[in-house]
């Protein structure tokens, strides 16, 4: 009988350990599911904002728009730089004529 009692005690101990592990995993699963739901809502909001701002939520289309905006900005910076050089040379011209 002593062997059975010892086996039952060991089995109960193992079950309690597994129950603790199960409870921990269950809590982690619930937390992960909540996080997934929060991230899903954030993604939906970001897509809606992208559609409102850019007319699309397609990453490829937005990348094309960004590339076009960068090219336009680079063109404007070049034009501004040329204008500054022209103004600088005009301002320097009267000093050279003196």
The string of pLDDT tens digits covering residues 36-54 is 999 999 999 999 999 999 9
How many angstroms separate the CA atoms of 51 and 48, rounded?
5
Q: What would the mean pLDDT of 1-29 be, rounded to a whole number?
A: 86
Does residue 5 carry a pLDDT above 90? no
pLDDT bin (cut points 50, 70, 90) of residue 98 is very low
Higher pLDDT, 94 or 50: 50
- Above 70 in pLDDT, residue 68? yes
Q: Look at residue 3 in the predicted model and tell me its pLDDT.
A: 60
How far is Cα 43 from Cα 34, in angstroms, rounded to an integer? 14
Cβ atoms of 17 and 28 within 8 Å: the answer is: no
């Amino acid at each position: 009988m002593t062997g059975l009692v010892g086996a039952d005690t060991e089995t109960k101990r193992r079950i309690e350990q597994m129950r603790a592990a199960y409870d921990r995993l269950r809590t982690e699963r619930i937390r992960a599911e909540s996080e997934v739901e929060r991230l899903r809502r954030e993604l939906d909001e970001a897509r809606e904002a992208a559609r409102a701002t850019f007319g699309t939520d397609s990453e490829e289309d937005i990348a094309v728009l960004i590339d076009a905006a960068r090219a336009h900005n680079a063109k404007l910076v070049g034009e501004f730089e040329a204008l500054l050089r022209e103004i600088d040379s005009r301002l320097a011209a009267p000093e050279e004529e003196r």
